[in-house]
Homo-oligomer: A and B are copies of this chain.
Amino acid sequence: MSRPYFPAQEGAPSPLRFTVERQVRFEEVDPLNIVWHGRYPSFFEDARVALSEKFGIGYLDCYERGILAPIKKMHVDYFRPLSFPERFTIEGILHWSEAARLNFEFIIRNKAHEVTTTGYTVQMMLDTEQNIMLIPPPFVRDFLDRWQKGEIR
C-alpha cells in the first residue's frame, strides 16, 4: 500500500497531530546496530497512546466504558535505519472517520528530520459484548463533534 494511507475526504476536518520523542535503546538494535524491524509497533504505540490520551479516547477512556479498540491492521514502510543511541521523533496523525474506528498514521523522523519510517494502524471499536460497533459510542461522538467544530486541534 502506498501513501496516502488514508486518502483525504472532502469536507472532513484536518487530521489531529501529536509528536513524541524517543531514543533508540541498546536492546532495540540488531547485530548491524540498526533497530530491528519488529520494534516499530512500540514506537507507533508511543505516539498513538499520547495522542489518544490527550483527546480522551485512550485505552483507559474506552476500558472504563466497557469498550475495546483493538488493532485490526498494522502496516510499516521502512526507508532508513535508526541506530543506537539515536534520538528520533514519532508523529501520530489521527485521520477523520465517522465510523467507530481510529485511523492512525505515523511518521518517524531522525535528528536530521529525514523520514525514516512510516506506517498506519486501524482500530475498530467493540462494545461490551465484543461486537463491532456500527457507530461511535457517545464519548467518541462528542470528541468527533468538537473536532469537526474546530474546538480541538
A contact set with B: CB distance below 8 Å = 1, 25-27, 29-34, 36-38, 40-42, 45-46, 49, 53, 59-60, 68, 70-78, 81, 84-85, 121
Query: What would be 14 A-B contacts, judged by CB atoms less than 8 Å apart?
Result: A27-B36, A27-B38, A29-B31, A30-B31, A31-B33, A40-B74, A49-B85, A53-B85, A71-B78, A72-B77, A72-B78, A74-B74, A74-B76, A74-B78
Q: Is A26 touching B59 in the complex (CB atoms < 8 A)?
A: yes
A107 to chain B, nearest CB (A): 16
Give the complex CA separation of A25 and B53 in angstroms.
Answer: 13
Enumerate chain B residues within 8 angstroms of A38, measured Cβ to Cβ: 27, 38, 41-42, 45
- Work out how many copies of this chain go into the complex: 4
- In the complex, residue of chain B having the shortest beta-carbon distance to the beta carbon of A37: B71
Enumerate chain B residues within 8 angstroms of A46, measured Cβ to Cβ: 25
Secondary structure at the A interface, as helix, strand, loop or mixed, is mixed
Enumerate chain B residues within 8 angstroms of A75, measured Cβ to Cβ: 1, 73-76
Enumerate chain B residues within 8 angstroms of A121, measured Cβ to Cβ: 37
Assuming the A-B contacts A71-B37, A71-B78, are A26 and B49 also in contact, with contact meaning beta carbons closer than 8 angstroms in the complex? yes
Enumerate chain B residues within 8 angstroms of A41, measured Cβ to Cβ: 37-38, 41
Give the complex CA separation of A49 and B42 in angstroms.
Answer: 20
A150 to chain B, nearest CB (A): 28
A116 to chain B, nearest CB (A): 12
Enumerate chain B residues within 8 angstroms of A81, measured Cβ to Cβ: 70
